A and B are shown apart, each in its own frame.
Chain A
């Protein structure tokens, strides 16, 4: 099957002259329909920027985003409209993603009417109620006449999901969709999103800084780890969690707290050489992780940007130091 979304050498730079930073650097990946892909990384690693470029809300400096095999910049207007409706985004902050001057009804019926999903206003209202039920906002009748400020953060986030669902999307970019929601309702929203995956065949690009969350949401899917604008490792979630190959992925995993004390004791801790994330304005040469990496090999890691190499166990990794060498380096 052809990938629904593919990005090739996607690069985004911000600013001019000395202030110029490369937020996303030659990122390439492909997402098949029905897959769930998590984009993981620390803040500032370019994961949100990548998400916004995939959703067509931000123009790439170079590289291309392909929708069903075609560059989104070269789509004719009908095809672009289809792309716009197929690919939706859910923002991180439910307090700024809903217009404070519109009722929930207005927020949901506008896209329904605009794209002729329903015949008239009455039908739009009925459809909006249905969608609210889908995102577990019940009783929907109580919610629909309200303004966003009358709802809690979790409820607002559900409305944001409902709004995206009005145009029957097949691909949703969820940009830190639950990180601003109270922990207590995070799981129920994640469960709801997971249900959408199955019920509506929605493909997810789930962006998060929380590897534990990625593990939970994309257990059957894939995880892509980004560091300072580049992909350092990707692969099927279960492989990546159980057998991480990049030192950065290993460090991230060892930082995830383990609930089971038995497991926690035996967890392999990885000592970083530095905790500071380098500034995007002054990136280290070669592999940008080398100043913090415990397996740093002078002359090799800081010489050239390591390429992503395919792994026989699935996925790709960008590290010039082989696994066999690392053991000796730690001693």
Chain B
């Protein structure tokens, strides 16, 4: 038991050390962690400001209101803190689902070959042809995305094809390698071959694709909210932009803070995640692992 804990601890410290090798990547990693902490734990400490204060409409940032106030004099900072959770939750669900589908069926297609391969690739090509955004727009007319989990699953179910193709082609080349043949000769089983031999060799690629899927899902859902295709039900960065937009925030100079802050929050989150991938590349390379 102690050995397992030690092993995990060693893995964690090595991974962190590896991630520091790329300065930009490590800053991205720290920023991502900070944003996650603020969005997930922050709401417990910073109450959402819901009180209308007519004398404080459209205030610029100050010591009292860090990000200024909105059209009803409410604190924007508290809204930003409360609005990140749902955005990240939906994006994470979408990214997990699409990566899971892509990796599972991509390796399956490469491995099984024949009819299974043709079938999977056929479906992939069809999904790839469908323009995502218009489809979601049409679907929104029939389905109400009032449950954000469904929204995440929906986004994930549409965004896997590109990654699946990449995973399949990588698996195709990896499965011809001698170590996979040796695993077959040793009768280690398909599960072992896929999850111990193939996937670890594609891990860098999978992790990076996961973060890219994450950022894509953020943009898609914010876009849907902005267009009003997803019912505005909770405070959320996308909803904030949408409300500011419909209430004409872009026409008043004083209202700038109200529309810029959620945009900045989204941009900062995306930038952090994207730069973090540079460090992730390092963390999943076994060659570097032994140099620490």
Which residues in A have some Cβ–Cβ distance to B below 8 Å? Answer: 52, 55-57, 81, 84-85, 87-89, 91-93, 96-102, 106, 110-111, 114-115, 146-147, 149-150, 160, 163-164, 166-167
CA distance A114 to B187 in the complex (A): 9
Which residues in B have some Cβ–Cβ distance to A below 8 Å? Answer: 177-179, 181-182, 184-189, 192, 196-197, 200-201, 203, 286-287, 289-290
Beyond A100-B286, A110-B186, A163-B182, 17 additional contacts (C-beta under 8 Å) are: A85-B187, A89-B181, A89-B182, A91-B178, A97-B179, A99-B179, A100-B201, A101-B200, A101-B201, A111-B186, A111-B188, A114-B186, A114-B188, A114-B189, A147-B286, A149-B290, A164-B186
- A99-B200, A100-B287 given; A93·B178 CB < 8 A: yes
Contacts of A85 in B (CB 8 A): 186-187
A146 touches B290 (CB 8 A): yes
CA distance A110 to B180 in the complex (A): 13
CA distance A114 to B290 in the complex (A): 27
Q: Which of B184, B185, B197, B287 contacts A99 (CB 8 A)?
A: B197
Contacts of A84 in B (CB 8 A): 185-187
The 3 A-B residue pairs with the shortest CB-CB distance in the complex, in nearest-first order: A101-B200, A97-B178, A84-B187
Contacts of A111 in B (CB 8 A): 186, 188
Contacts of B177 in A (CB 8 A): 96
Q: Which residue of A lies closest to B174 (CB)?
A: A99
B200 touches A96 (CB 8 A): no
Question: Which residue among B184, B187, B197, B200 has the maximum number of chain A CB atoms within 10 Å of its CB?
Answer: B187
- A110-B192, A114-B192, A149-B287 given; A57·B184 CB < 8 A: yes
Q: Which of B178, B189, B290 contacts A147 (CB 8 A)?
A: B290
Contacts of B289 in A (CB 8 A): 147
Contacts of A102 in B (CB 8 A): 196, 200
Q: Which of B185, B187, B188 contacts A89 (CB 8 A)?
A: B185
CA distance A226 to B179 in the complex (A): 27
Contacts of B178 in A (CB 8 A): 91-93, 96-97
Question: Smallest Cβ distance from B11 to chain A, in angstroms?
Answer: 12
Contacts of B192 in A (CB 8 A): 110, 114
Contacts of B196 in A (CB 8 A): 99, 102, 106, 110
Question: Which residue among B178, B181, B200, B287 has the maximum number of chain A CB atoms within 10 Å of its CB?
Answer: B178
A-B contact pairs, 24 of them (CB 8 A): A56-B185, A57-B181, A57-B184, A88-B185, A92-B178, A93-B178, A96-B179, A97-B178, A99-B179, A99-B197, A99-B200, A100-B201, A100-B287, A102-B200, A110-B196, A111-B188, A114-B189, A146-B290, A147-B290, A149-B286, A149-B290, A150-B290, A163-B182, A164-B185
